[in-house]
Amino acid sequence: MVSAGAWRMQEGCLMMTNMIRMLFLGRR
């Protein structure tokens, strides 16, 4: 069983990586 905190942290990391990727693509 995965704790809600860990699940939220994982989702946050994915969202952050997506935002960073979008920013990098937009700059290029």
Question: How many residues in total does the chain contain?
Answer: 28
Give per-residue pLDDT as tens, 1-28. Answer: 678 888 899 999 999 999 999 999 998 7
Place of tokens 């704790």: 3
- What letter represents residue 4's amino acid? A
Could you give the angle at the alpha carbon of 24 between the alpha carbons of 19 and 16, nearest 5°? 20
Both tokens assigned to 13: 């990391």
At 1 the pLDDT is: 62
- Report phi then psi at 3, rounded to 5: -70, 150
Torsional class of 2: left (φ above 0), alpha (ψ -120 to 50), beta (otherwise) = beta
